[in-house]
Amino acid sequence: MVFPSNVQLSDIQIFGITVGLFFSGSGFILNAFATFRNIKSRKLLNYQELTKSHREIWKITLEKPEIYERVLDPNADVSSKPITYAEHRFIHLLLLHMTIGFYFAKQSDIIEIKKTKFDIDEFLSLPIPREVWLESKKYFNKDFVRFVDHRPRKSILITLRKSLLGTLKRKILGIQPSKSWKILVLSEFPERLVQTLSKLGDELIFMSDHQYPISRQIIEDRKIDFIVCFEYRKLIPRSVLSCTSGINIHGGMLPLNRGPNPNLWSWIDDTKKGVSIHFLSEDGYAGDIIAQREIKSDLPTSIQSSFNRIIDECEILFKDTWPLIRAGQNNRIPQRGKATSHCLVDQELFSDLLNEKGLNMPINEFVSIARQRIEETSIGSEPR
């Protein structure tokens, strides 16, 4: 059986979490038989380990929501679309986590055993988790199986079903229990962002750099909560950033090649190629980095094909990162190291070359000519 590459990428992560759960469980068992003067401290330590494992498991779904979104779908049709390898593996991981939680709840006054029962029942009432549980419960401890399969009164389940399922959905999708956002999308390629942005039910407003400049008045009148920039070639005024926040999707490995056409300059300057997502700041491209991905490019390729790949990688990185940004769980790393920047004026030195031969010219041919012109200009500008 061959699995998609994006599923295989999380195998190491799954293994790491499984090992972590094993040691958490082992630690719980050892702690349970050890003698402590302060029993409450021991229980809190076990609870912290359980919470840590819980966060690591749900982090997987935030990084790849498109792979796991069916798990919490109450209308998932497992007959027409069988359970995938990734779904099967994820539910097994959750069941292992639930087993440890069950034994901890039995020995602890921190987690109520009734609440644990309601959480498990609600999750296993969904089509995909239920199917996986029925297939695999024979491999679990008999005490845990009896605990799971014991049915509480229907009236209790009906009362809690909506609230518990709603909470679970917000966890897997990374949605905060707050109002929907009004997101201003400043981009020449809005079609690359719409599918990802629209998944969480936010209202989207689109503008390009060909329209009137963005202003504080627009932000206030339309009650914008957040800005997403992608291939937007106008500077965002400080007055705008003082009343809202936002991110920029940049086709370069910041802090290298700040400014427009970072991909082009990465070839000319022979620097790292990649994509970055960073917070908008008053210093333009100097905002804290949220996520980056380096790209290995081999010659020969054309200017256009190189640009297309950058745009594709930007879309993929945004798709993977947006749920974390929306949930406020993203990284925020200050830019460090050598910074380089360019502006549109710098590009005028070889704009005629781009106009004459077009974007389909080989990138190595373009780089050779561009470097020669830069060198000649540099020599010609030196004082005599």
**pLDDT 10s digits, 145-159:** 887 776 544 433 333
Taking CB atoms within 8 Å and a gap of at least 24, the contacts of 35-40 are: none
Could you state, in chain order, the average pLDDT of each consecutive group of 10 residues for the chain (384 residues)?
40 55 51 48 54 60 68 73 82 77 63 59 77 80 77 40 44 53 90 87 84 86 93 88 93 93 91 94 88 81 88 93 89 90 86 82 89 80 47
Q: Indicate the angle between helix axes 85-107 and 113-124, nearest 10 degrees.
A: 160
Structure tokens at 173: 């999708």
Q: What is the pLDDT of residues 37-71, one digit of tens each?
A: 455 555 555 555 555 555 666 566 566 667 777 87
Residue found by looking up tokens 């974007």 in the block: 359
Q: How many Å from the N-terminal Cα to the C-terminal Cα in the chain?
A: 70
Q: What angle do CA 357, 363, 368 make, to 5 degrees?
A: 90
DSSP string of 293-345, one letter each residue: EE----SS-BHHHHHHHHHHHHHHHHHHHHHHHHTT----B---S---B--HH
- The whole-model pTM stands at 0.54
Taking a C-beta distance cutoff of 8 angstroms, is the pair 95, 148 a contact? no
Strand partners, 152: none
What is the C-alpha separation between 341 and 331, in angstroms, rounded? 24
pLDDT at 92: 77
Q: Are 191 and 215 in contact (CB under 8 A)?
A: no
Give the pLDDT score at 288.
93
Task: Tell me the C-alpha distance between 109 and 78, whole Å.
Answer: 38
Centre a 10 Å sphere on the Cβ of residue 223 and count the other Cβ atoms it contains.
Answer: 10
Tokens for 35, please give them. 């003698």
* Contacts of 213-222 spanning 24+ positions with Cβ under 8 A: 213/237, 214/184, 214/186, 214/240, 215/239, 215/240, 216/240, 216/242, 216/243, 218/184, 219/184, 219/243, 219/244, 222/182, 222/184
Backbone torsion region of residue 38, taken as left when φ is above 0, otherwise alpha when ψ lies between -120 and 50, otherwise beta: beta
Cβ contact 31:46 at 8 Å: yes
Q: How far apart are CA 264 and CA 303, in angstroms?
A: 8
pLDDT value, residue 359: 81
Structure tokens at 319: 């798709």
Give the residues across from 182 on adjacent strands: 203
* Confidence at residue 107, expressed as pLDDT on a 0 to 100 scale: 64
Contact 297, 353 (CB under 8 A): no
User: H or E segment at 28?
Assistant: helix 11-33
Sign of CA dihedral 297, 302, 306, 309: negative
Contact 46, 108 (CB under 8 A): yes
Strands 245-250 and 274-279: antiparallel
pLDDT at 152: 47
